[in-house]
């Protein structure tokens, strides 16, 4: 009985000691599907959870499906970041990828902007992914997606829950700095997430909220569209609104007394 207990403890420790996609790929995983968290509305940012709605809002867009002439289906490949078009590495030839974006894995869960950490490239079928996907290989790493030529619309399928639930913090940056932050949960087959900003987007930062399963992205699209501005009331606007309510209330009360 004691031997069985020891074996069970060792097996459990092994099962939860995986800290990268290359390690997880050596064992069988049954993915589950989870819904995406509701998206908050932020000033100057428009969020999308339906790809068709995003396509309508961003008609001029570039598509990146991460095709590879080097790695076949149902496989995994890793190499060091930054990953970009026109360079070529162990996973992609210099002509496989579309220009306009740069992926960088950030060590130690964020805060260090430099690179050198490795990315994971999962092809369709590997660990249950349905489309080619990329992301940081090490689960404690965050990653950034930079746009050298700024665009104001970015969308992709967010993949997670391959090893465990992936709550992701998404920080959207522009030339003026941080435009806003939100959170999302990916699914094993991919949950669409998109954003349209009132100014050019220069970077999106992905931070895994629990450090147990780094997020992946597939079917990346980016381009330009028109943001529907939602007007907001300033201090004087709010005061004016309150004053109108007070006057309306007084008039209503007087009319009731006269009736």
For 193-237, write each residue's pLDDT tens digit.
Answer: 999 999 999 999 999 887 666 789 999 999 999 876 544 445 555
What is the pLDDT, as a whole number, of residue 2? 38
Burial of 55 (0-12, 13-18, 19+ CB in 10 A): middle
Band of residue 189 on the pLDDT scale cut at 50, 70, 90: confident
DSSP code per residue over 104-150: EEEGGGSS------EEEEEPTTGGG-SS-EEEESBTT-EEEEEEEEE
Of the two residues 7 and 162, the one the predictor is more confident about is 162
Q: Which two tokens stand for residue 230?
A: 């939602």
**What rounded mean pLDDT belongs to the chain?**
79
Does the N-terminal peptide bond of residue 82 adopt cis geometry, omega within 30 degrees of 0? yes
How is the chain split into domains, by residue range?
A: 2-250
CA dist 74 and 97 (Å) reads 19
Q: Which residues face 191 on adjacent strands?
A: 158
Least confident of 50-59, 63-72, 210-219: 210-219
């220069």: which residue's tokens? 202
């968290």: which residue's tokens? 37
Least confident of 26-30, 44-48, 84-88, 146-150: 26-30
What is the pLDDT, as a whole number, of residue 106? 87
Region 33-43: mean pLDDT is: 41
């309510």: which residue's tokens? 245
Q: Model pTM?
A: 0.73
**pLDDT surpasses 50 at 121:** yes
Kindly give the pairing relationship between strand 167-174 and strand 191-208. antiparallel
Q: Which two tokens stand for residue 80?
A: 């060091």
């Amino acid at each position: 009985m004691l031997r069985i207990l020891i074996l069970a403890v060792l097996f459990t420790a092994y099962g939860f000691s995986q800290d990268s996609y290359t390690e997880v790929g050596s064992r069988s995983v049954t993915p589950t599907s989870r819904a995406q968290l509701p998206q908050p509305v932020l000033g100057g940012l428009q969020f999308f959870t339906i790809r068709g709605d995003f396509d309508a809002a961003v008609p001029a867009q570039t598509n990146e499906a991460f095709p590879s002439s080097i790695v076949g289906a149902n496989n995994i490949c890793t190499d060091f970041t930054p990953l970009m078009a026109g360079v070529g590495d162990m996973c992609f030839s210099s002509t496989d990828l579309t220009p306009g974006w740069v992926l960088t894995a950030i060590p130690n869960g964020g805060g260090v902007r430099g690179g050198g950490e490795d990315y994971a490239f999962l092809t369709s079928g590997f660990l249950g992914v349905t489309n080619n996907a990329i992301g940081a290989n090490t689960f404690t790493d965050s990653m950034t997606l930079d746009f050298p030529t700024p665009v104001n619309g970015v969308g992709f399928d967010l993949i997670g829950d391959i090893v465990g639930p992936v709550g992701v913090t998404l920080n959207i940056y522009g030339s003026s700095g941080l435009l806003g932050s939100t959170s999302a949960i990916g699914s094993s087959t991919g949950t669409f997430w998109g954003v349209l900003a009132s100014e050019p987007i220069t970077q999106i930062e992905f931070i895994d909220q629990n450090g147990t399963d780094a997020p992946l992205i597939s079917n990346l699209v980016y381009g330009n569209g028109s943001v529907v501005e939602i007007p907001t009331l300033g201090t004087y606007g709010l005061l004016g609104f309150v004053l109108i309510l007070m006057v309306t209330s007084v008039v209503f009360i007087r009319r009731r007394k006269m009736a």
